[in-house]
Copies of this chain bind each other. A is one copy, B any other.
């Protein structure tokens, strides 16, 4: 891909508040020409996000267009995915300039009469990453037949770093010469991978079927690393998590946890201890396919370095499994644990 992306972050730039923006900047830095964010304008992405790439941050759409983008990416994912009214001016300006709009919102922008008309008028495209595929597959445990060893990242909560863990695990495997593939199941993962499916927008009956289809299609690899979503204990997103478990039927799982997080995001639910979470994931799969959590990825973002190190040490002690910060230390130990899994 040779896109030149302007990212709309609108005052929310941050690792958790602008997950899509941050991830694309981290994993596709050469494709991003500028970030539009009034709050942090004048600084760069290295300073704000701590990522290697120092991409300029600008305050106006005109300043962003001066960098010659061909694509505007909406890099924020508000709960529910609605289109904030104040973004319209930006979208209008970009469509008028002929840019492609990439949107991961639940509200489909190509159904917005004004924006669709503007796109037609200026020969611009609107791509809704969350638009579900037309087909309606019913899961039937076909994932069991893949050549690939199947790995799924699972979480103690949503928004803890399951995509990053999956990407790092895939990258480490590739460095070792393994034919490993990252299977994207969310809009950000799709932007990075250039394929996949946005699971959370698919109707309930077909979610597991679409996971299965994706896994079977990529099943000729040696290692299929499936991006996890949500958490078994998140009231709103647990159904997406279960569809991943039962559609992908992973041979191994990596549990991802955010250091210091004690309750589920925006919900009145205490996150159970790691050993209980491990039991829950293994138990949910047991009647369909035997599988083990083989390692822990600890996301240290925002924690004091000492707290992060303590969390990692405690995780190893409590679970008897390797626990690592994959961004700082790589996913080598997790990959070792995955490759020790042999299917019965």
A-side residues, CB < 8 A to B, are 79-82, 106, 132, 136-141, 199-205, 207-209, 232-243, 246-247, 249, 266-270, 272, 280, 283-284, 287-288
Whether B243 lies near A204 (C-beta < 8 A) is yes
B-chain residues with CB within 8 Å of residue A268 when the two chains form the complex: 141
Chain B residue with minimal CB distance to A205? B200
Nearest Cβ on chain B to A19's Cβ, whole angstroms: 15
Whether A236 lies near B203 (C-beta < 8 A) is no
Docked pose: A329 CA to B272 CA in angstroms: 42
A204-B207, A205-B106 known; A140 vs B269 contact (CB < 8 Å):
no
- Of the listed residues A137, A239, A266, A270, the one surrounded by the most CB atoms of chain B closer than 10 A to its CB is A239
Docked pose: A233 CA to B242 CA in angstroms: 10
Docked pose: A241 CA to B237 CA in angstroms: 12
Docked pose: A34 CA to B202 CA in angstroms: 36
Beyond known contacts A208-B235, A236-B246: 19 more, CB 8 A cutoff? A80-B136, A139-B235, A141-B235, A201-B203, A203-B204, A204-B204, A204-B207, A204-B237, A204-B240, A205-B240, A207-B239, A233-B287, A238-B243, A238-B246, A239-B240, A239-B243, A242-B242, A272-B287, A280-B283
Whether A136 lies near B106 (C-beta < 8 A) is yes
A139-B236, A267-B141, A268-B141 known; A203 vs B205 contact (CB < 8 Å):
no
Contact of A236 among B199, B209, B269 (CB under 8 A): B209
Whether A235 lies near B204 (C-beta < 8 A) is no
B-chain residues with CB within 8 Å of residue A238 when the two chains form the complex: 208, 242-243, 246
Whether B269 lies near A287 (C-beta < 8 A) is yes
A80-B136, A136-B106 known; A235 vs B207 contact (CB < 8 Å):
no
Whether B266 lies near A288 (C-beta < 8 A) is no
Contact of A239 among B82, B234, B246 (CB under 8 A): B246
Interchain residue pairs A-B with the least CB separation, the first 7: A239-B243, A239-B239, A200-B205, A139-B236, A235-B246, A204-B240, A233-B287
B-chain residues with CB within 8 Å of residue A201 when the two chains form the complex: 203-205
